[in-house]
A and B are shown apart, each in its own frame.
Chain A
Amino acid sequence: MNVIRLWLNFVRVGVLGEIQYRVNFLVQLLQSAIALATALIVLALIFSYTQTLGGWTGPELLALMGVHTLVGGLIHMSIQPNMERLMQDVQNGTLDYALIKPADSQALVSVREFRLWQGVDVIVGALVIGYAVYQLREIFGWQQALAFAAALGCGAAMIYAFWLILTTGAFWFVRMENLLELWQGLYSAGRAPVGIYPDWLKYGLTFLVPVAFAVTVPAEAVTGRLTLETLAGAIALAAALLVGARWFWFFGLRRYSGASA
């Protein structure tokens, strides 16, 4: 519970800081609108040639796009800013200020930043999913809603764990920001259902980088094609990654303390 209180406090500070720049909200809104329009144009172009793409219909791909936008918003709002700050702290040696605070170090470095206006993408994504669900109402029931929530939670947890592991790498290799460039590119691959990729890429996007679990699996839940086995697998993998990330964080921290002593 302490972690949540801590998080809420940082959120409050972040919101207070950003509310002063309401113009940024407008800018972000416009940017999200442009991104949405572009994505819709691409979908329209694809479905002007075909009825289904890799077995997904128009509304189903729309749901996928919504999930991609929503998860992207979550990443930009909370995960990425925190991890970037952590990376800078390691580079500049200012991480000590965080470590000296009497709180769980992993929790602290994961909640310090909050970008309110990036949340626009979360809302835009949710609206798109809502519209897709409306079109798919025949197949969407409360089971799907539950499965979607669970899959989304697992996906977010996996991405957080993945980023924390990558960022902890900064204790060894100081220049990690390029790995993040790599991530941006790979995440954009989530705009298509991973099933249409050649096998090597499909498995890479599933197990090397959890894009499939973060985007395709929740979208599968919305479109009623998620099996219980996949969901169980997602939950197990998310739990394993979270535990692994926590272990790796403390492992890296020991090295960091050793090096600066």
Chain B
Amino acid sequence: MTVIRVDKLSKSYFVPEREAGLSAALKSLVRRKTREVKAVDAISFEIGAGEIVGFLGPNGAGKTTTLKMLSGLLYPTGGAAHVLGFVPEKRERGFLTQVTLVMGNRNQLQWDIPALDSYDLQRAIYGLDPAGYRRTRDELIELMQVGDLVRKPVRNLSLGERMKVEFIGALLHNPKVIFLDEPTLGLDVTMQRRLREFVAGYNARTGATVLLTSHYMADVEALCKRVIVIHNGTLLYDGDLTGLGARFAAYKTISASFDQAPPALDGYGEVMSTDGLRVTLRVPKAETSRVTARLLTDLAVVDLTVEDPPIDDVIEKVFNSQAVG
């Protein structure tokens, strides 16, 4: 069943243009130049019920804009989006009570009171029945392992703890669609992993659909089978995470160990690192076998492995090449 359907969705803005310096500043007072920026340019995709999809792209690629359009905060300038059969920007009650948006570093809970009191307010806002609400709340508290933290004023919590109670508050109404915008921003590695496990567990238990943007590839690798890559507002890739490497990696890495210090290996490929007797080279995909053979015949190689580059390197390469081309 399709939960999110996006069809040629576009959003453009007009932004003022100004150069640095005093004279440019003065000039812009007289005549303000504006420029149309296509934040999102005719992207289309569909997401089925229960999927966890990673939404990737560099800063300014249009991820947050898309997320905001899907959650009804922004009107598209072109195309259409449907979420659970609703048109998001109409912001009907039936829609709002079935979705949620969590943004890292943003606070929806009241600062000065314990989260538990804010949760009660959420119950009133969403008109949840008290028994069901208590059950959901206690389950989430259990699942997130926050214990008594919900009884402390939110301002006294650490960033990670705050994000945990924030998550609970965002899920009290059992949303069917969850938008996560950089949910692990600024958190330490343990806390990131805890939140990841929570999202995965929640998804498995409730079958909620999750659309996630994150700068941390670890988030995406751990949670998402499928990724959607956008750059400069256009869709670059939509498919399996593993396929991303195969499709975009134009090179492989060769790690070789030697029993004595090797000569300079620049002639074989780009030297990425040298760690004692172990050297890592980056070579174009097509030349992998030729370089491997040359290394083995020319030098005394103890051990040799050929690998696809790590996924965040691939992503970085994709973005850089696109930025140039």
Contacts and interface: CB of A to CB of B under 8 A. Distances in A.
B29 to A, nearest CB: 5
Interface stretch (A14-22, A46-54, A146-154): A14-22
B22 A16 contact: yes
B25 interface: yes
Interface string B17-38: 0000010011011000000000
A25 to B, nearest CB: 10
A19 B29 CA distance: 10
Chain A at the B interface: mostly helix, strand, loop or mixed? helix
A252 B25 CA distance: 41
Contacts of B26: 19
Contacts of A19: 22, 25-26
Q: Which of A16, A19, A20, A22 has the most CB of B within 10 A?
A: A20
B22 A22 contact: no
A19 B26 CA distance: 8
A29 to B, nearest CB: 15
A250 B25 CA distance: 41
Nearest to A15: B22
Interface string A7-28: 0000000001001101000000
Nearest to B25: A20
Nearest to A17: B25
A27 to B, nearest CB: 14
A16 B25 CA distance: 10
B186 to A, nearest CB: 16
B66 to A, nearest CB: 32
Contacts of A22: 29
A67 to B, nearest CB: 33
Contacts of A16: 22
A123 to B, nearest CB: 21
A20 B29 CA distance: 8
Interface string A104-127: 000000000000000000000000
B22 to A, nearest CB: 6
Contacts of B28: 20
A28 to B, nearest CB: 15
A19 B28 CA distance: 11
A20 B16 CA distance: 13
7 contacts: A16-B22, A19-B22, A19-B25, A19-B26, A20-B25, A20-B28, A22-B29
